[in-house]
Amino acid sequence: MSTTTELDLASPAPAKPLKARRRRGLRGSPTFNFWLFTGPFLLGLVIFVYVPIGWSIWLSFFEARFTVTPSKFIGFDNYRYMLDNGNFTGALLTFTVFAAFIVPTTWALSLGLAMLVNRLRFMRAFYRSVFFLPTACSYVAASLIWKMSMFNGVRFGLANTVIGWFGVENIAWLADPDPPWYWLVIVSARLWLQSGFYMILFLAALQNIPQELYEAAAIDGAKRGWQTFRYITLPQLRATTTAVVLLLLVAAYQAFDEFFNLLSKTTWGRPPLVELYYMALGQNQDYGAGSAGAVMLTLLICLVTLFQGRLLGFGRGEESK
């Protein structure tokens, strides 16, 4: 009995689990950590986005020629001037039609490429990278390649060389003939630059569609092809389609680089941003009228976006579908 007692006394007591030491001070505050990480980004957003937007709206109500600190308030005169400016209103109308064409075309091409790559059983990563690679190319560099190598309007250009094999005479692609061939140049460059990015978005959405849906459709007698695409694939891509169309609409109205570099200083085929660029930074440097045009363009993009969201059901819950 005494031996047992001595052994019990000699055995060490079980160690108590150590509690994690809580940090004290600012480093242990979740609020401080939140502002530490998000503060610089919010500060940059305010300085480089919200302040310029507010300043542009403020300038649109003043006569601001050759100055960004005007003192003469003129109300809505700049807005009336821009509405009476045929070049600006014509650009808005032209690019509404341009957006109505380029958005569904890019959507269809991106979705088609995504479906083709998704069906591959080998070298999928290679083709995915090949189609995505143009996205990393600068719009300026692509515009110069299109202008100087492919559609330069001389017999040594790639496009004229190809059509010359079929006995077609050289075409001045970037002139203003009838029909206006420069739209083919701009649309082809834009499709090449944008389709790969949206293909990746559709490819990710396609890979998230449960295969059980296609198996159930096959059991029910649905034919592979158009029926499965219409009743299974396309509805499952609704959220991705809405996001892609939204991005494409904004990008269409914000087109600048390729038009500025392909069409140089021509007065035809200008997008709204190029018109505003020459308005604010041209000979007159009318920052007030340019700011008014920028506000009008922003409102137009918001209206078109809201209409598109209403049409495709952007922001609706699953219960309303």
Q: What is the model's pLDDT at position 14?
A: 58
Q: What is the model's pLDDT at position 320?
A: 45
**Per-residue confidence of the chain (321 residues) as pLDDT tens digits?**
555 555 454 555 555 555 555 555 556 677 888 888 899 999 999 999 999 999 999 999 999 888 888 888 999 999 999 999 888 988 888 888 888 899 999 999 999 999 999 888 888 888 888 888 898 888 889 988 898 888 887 777 888 888 888 888 888 888 766 668 888 888 999 999 999 999 999 999 998 988 888 888 888 777 777 888 888 888 899 889 988 998 998 888 888 888 888 887 676 778 888 888 888 887 778 999 999 999 999 998 888 888 877 777 665 554 444
Domains within the chain, CATH numbers bracketed: 77-320 (1.10.3720.10)
CA dist 217 and 226 (Å) reads: 12
Q: Give φ, ψ of 65 to 5 degrees.
A: -100, 125
pTM: 0.78
248-251-253 Cα angle (round to 5): 110
Q: What is the model's pLDDT at position 46?
A: 94
The continuous run of DSSP H or E covering 215 comes out as: helix 211-219
Is the preceding peptide bond at 179 cis, omega within 30 degrees of 0? yes
The continuous run of DSSP H or E covering 200 comes out as: helix 182-207
Q: What is the model's pLDDT at position 21?
A: 55
Q: What is the model's pLDDT at position 319?
A: 41
CA dist 153 and 191 (Å) reads: 21
